[in-house]
Amino acid sequence: MDKIPKEIQIIIKKLKKGGFEAYVVGGPVRDFLLGKMPKDWDITTNAKPEEIQKIFPNNFCNNIFGTVTVVDKNTKNDNLNNIEITTYRIDVGYSDKRHPDKIQFTSKLEEDLARRDFTINAMALKITNYELIDLFGGKEDLKNKIIKAVGDSDERFTEDALRMLRAVRFSSQLGFEIEKNTFRAIQKNSELLKFVSQERICDEFEKIILSDRAYEGVELLRKLKLLKYVVPELEYGIGVSQNRHHIYTIYEHCVLSLKHCPSKKLEVRLASLFHDIAKPQTKAGTGPDSTFYNHDFVGAKFAKKILTRLKFSNKIIEKVSLLVKNHMFYYNVDEVSEAGVRRLIKRTGKENLKDLMDLRIADRLGSGVPKAKPYKLRHLEYLIEKVSKDPISAKMLKVNGQDIMKILNAKPGPKIGAILKVLLSEVIEDPKKNTKEYLEKRVKELNKLSEEEIKKSEKIIEEKKEEEDLKDKKKFWVK
Ligand code: ATP
Ligand code: MG
């Protein structure tokens, strides 16, 4: 990034022509100085919202804060579709610890910069001569990789508690340290995070989790005493030991799994962090023989509760809880049967298997196991490929509901569904049974039973399989 985009230059020139001052400000100045392409471009000016709107007819205006967004439909660059222009302002009063009670326009750029959160975010750039307006040492802090509050840090966090999370977010995105006084002020005011809405907490938490230093970010939340207002459930695992198979405590293992997660996907990263979230509650026994039965199922529920509270989307919530629920899947070359792999696919869905394997890699590396056992995983991938053409859903059976009704000359009803389930269970065990002849024969046999009995026989097969899977699981993981 060595040049200001033409689109921004045009806007600033137009404002100047109208007799106003105009600067690039905040995030884009920081990113520009770091040599990075800014995500969005913000401009600040002494022009009032109505005056800005007059100059740019193609705009929409946020009335509460008077931000005018200029829409540029011709640009090829997505970052430049919507450019936000704000009038120099000061914030007045923060009675809810989050939002200013009101904003007041000012004619002084200096006052606008002073209301901003961190020194690296409080610089303005004059684009005609690339003069930097840097009143708080932002450039120096950028050079030294430091996040430092503008002015009195204690005051800044009591005004707006969200800034504390923003500090952690910038630290983990940029790999910067939080300056000593700013650090202390956050620790002191951490409790104020209670006043911040879950949606805003979620936005920042998501950015931390998606950053290159997600692990450092979560650790920083803990050190700053903020974690208990974001995900207190993680703290229950602090200092709680596991068993002979683990060198790390539950909390350490959770954050290290996040650190080693090979996926950049939010869902997989969250699942890495939360896969053992229920271990403190499911722990039985002490010392090297402790067990954690059902922590996968209970953990899926906990993850759902946490992510719902944080207002993540349903899609993310469902995916994370599915991954957590199934993270104990068993695979060992020579031991895992093809039927076992078919059951795994049926349980989790083929589209989720890659993510489930990434979660396993995160889990293993986060346990301090030196390698992610690529050979075993590759073998499982091979088996998945091999069996994925086998029937794993009712749709893939050679006999469908319609056929069954025809064979039995029966109407639709629960009995038909129950028969289908038994057929599928049998075929997953042995795909060779997926022939019209065999299935038709079984339909007639099963029809002699009552609906109750059919359901029971399906349950018997399912239970037997679950028992087998569980046996495998214990053998392998002994968690
Ligand atoms: P990003 O690259 O994530 O967009 P950003 O620095 O541009 O980072 P924004 O949330 O877009 O962050 O905010 C734009 C600017 O507004 C910031 O650089 C900062 O100067 C100021 N700002 C944003 N939120 C706050 C806040 N809560 N308190 C004080 N200033 C803030
Ligand atoms: Mg921004």
Residue 365: which CATH number?
1.10.3210
384 C-alpha vs ligand 1 centroid, how far in Å? 46
Q: Give a yes or no: residue 108 inside a domain.
A: yes
pLDDT at 476: 44
pLDDT at 77: 80
Same domain, 70 and 172: no
The total domain count for the chain is 4
Its pTM stands at: 0.89
Ligand with smallest separation from the Cα of 166: 1
Looking at ligand 1, which residue's alpha carbon is closest to its atom 16?
Answer: 26
- Choosing from 34, 40, 116 the residue with most ligand 1 atoms within 8 A of its CB, the one to mutate for a pocket test is 116
pLDDT at 474: 54
Q: Flag whether pLDDT at 331 surpasses 90.
A: no
Ligand 1 surroundings by CB, under 6 angstroms: 26-27, 39-40, 42, 116-117, 121-122, 160, 162-163
Same domain, 381 and 403: no
Same domain, 192 and 213: yes
> Residue holding tokens 């983990």?
172
Query: In this predicted model, what pLDDT tens digit does every residue of 29-82 receive, in sequence order?
Result: 999 999 998 988 999 999 999 999 999 987 777 767 788 998 877 777 877 888
The residue ranking higher by pLDDT, 95 or 420, is: 420
430 C-alpha vs ligand 1 centroid, how far in Å? 59
Same domain, 132 and 10: yes
Do 202 and 311 touch, CB atoms closer than 8 A? Answer: yes
User: Which ligand 1 atom sits closest to the C-alpha of 39?
Assistant: 2
CA atoms within 13 A on the CB side of 258: 29
Query: In this predicted model, what pLDDT tens digit does every residue of 243-301 receive, in sequence order?
Result: 888 889 999 999 999 999 999 999 999 999 999 999 999 988 888 888 888 999 999 99
Query: In this predicted model, what pLDDT tens digit does every residue of 421-466 receive, in sequence order?
Result: 999 989 988 999 999 999 999 999 999 999 999 988 877 777 666 6
pLDDT at 472: 55
**Nearest alpha carbon to residue 128 among 217, 265, 24, 266:** 24
Q: Which domain holds residue 155?
A: 147-230
Q: In which band, very low, low, confident or very high, does the pLDDT at 479 lie, cut at 50, 70 and 90?
A: very low
119 C-alpha vs ligand 2 centroid, how far in Å? 15
User: Of 230, 257, 289, which one is at a domain's C-terminal end?
Assistant: 230
In this structure, of 121-135, 225-239, 246-260, 280-294, the range with the lowest mean pLDDT score is 280-294
Q: Give a yes or no: residue 13 inside a domain.
A: yes
Same domain, 166 and 214: yes
Residue 139: which CATH number?
3.30.460.10
Cα 189 from chain centroid? 26
CA distance 208 to 210: 5
SS3 readout for the chain: CCCCCHHHHHHHHHHHHCCCCEEEECHHHHHHHCCCCCCCCEEEECCCHHHHHHHCCCEEEECCCCEEEEECCCCCCHHHCEEEEEECEEEECCCCCCCCCEEEECCCHHHHHHCCCEHHHCCEEECCCCEEECCCCHHHHHHCCEECECCCHHHHHHHCCHHHHHHHHHHHHHCCEECHHHHHHHHHHHHHHHHCCHHHHHHHHHHHHHCCCHHHHHHHHHHCCCHHHHCHHHHCCCCCCCCCCCCCCHHHHHHHHHHCCCCCCHHHHHHHHHCCCCHHHHCECCHHHCECCCHHHHHHHHHHHHHHHCCCCHHHHHHHHHHHHCCCCCCCCCCCCHHHHHHHHHHHCHHHHHHHHHHHHHHHHCCCCCCCCHHHHHHHHHHHHHHCCCCCCHHHCCCCHHHHHHHHCCCCCHHHHHHHHHHHHHHHHCHHHCCHHHHHHHHHHHHCCCHHHHHHHHHHHHHHHHHHHHHHHHHHHCC
pLDDT at 388: 79
Q: Give a yes or no: residue 377 inside a domain.
A: yes
121 C-alpha vs ligand 1 centroid, how far in Å? 7
Residue 214: which CATH number?
1.10.110.30
Same domain, 58 and 85: yes
Q: Give a yes or no: residue 92 inside a domain.
A: yes
Q: In which band, very low, low, confident or very high, does the pLDDT at 477 lie, cut at 50, 70 and 90?
A: very low
Same domain, 162 and 203: yes
Do 360 and 344 touch, CB atoms closer than 8 A? Answer: no
Longest Cα separation, the chain: 90
pLDDT at 469: 63
Q: Give a yes or no: residue 1 inside a domain.
A: no
27 C-alpha vs ligand 1 centroid, how far in Å? 6
Q: Give a yes or no: residue 340 inside a domain.
A: yes
Q: Which amino acid is at 436?
A: K
Same domain, 415 and 285: no
Same domain, 14 and 99: yes
User: Of 338, 369, 390, which one is at a domain's C-terminal end?
Assistant: 390
CA distance 233 to 462: 33
pLDDT at 244: 83
Same domain, 386 and 240: yes
Q: Flag whether pLDDT at 86 surpasses 80.
A: yes
CA distance 241 to 251: 9
User: Of 390, 417, 446, which one is at a domain's C-terminal end?
Assistant: 390
Q: Flag whether pLDDT at 165 surpasses 70.
A: yes
Same domain, 274 and 345: yes
Highest mean pLDDT among 2-6, 74-78, 88-92, 269-273: 269-273
The residue ranking higher by pLDDT, 272 or 346, is: 272
Q: Report the Cα–Cα distance between both ends of the chain, in Å, rounded.
A: 50
Q: Flag whether pLDDT at 473 surpasses 70.
A: no
Q: Give a yes or no: residue 226 inside a domain.
A: yes
Query: In this predicted model, what pLDDT tens digit does every residue of 183-220 receive, in sequence order?
Result: 999 999 999 999 999 999 999 999 999 999 999 999 99
Do 421 and 400 touch, CB atoms closer than 8 A? Answer: no
pLDDT at 316: 98
Same domain, 203 and 222: yes
pLDDT at 368: 86
Looking at ligand 1, which residue's alpha carbon is closest to its atom 25?
Answer: 117
Q: Please state, rounded to an integer, the average pLDDT across all residues of the chain.
A: 91
pLDDT at 276: 96
Q: Give a yes or no: residue 446 inside a domain.
A: yes
pLDDT at 12: 95
Looking at ligand 1, which residue's alpha carbon is closest to its atom 13?
Answer: 27
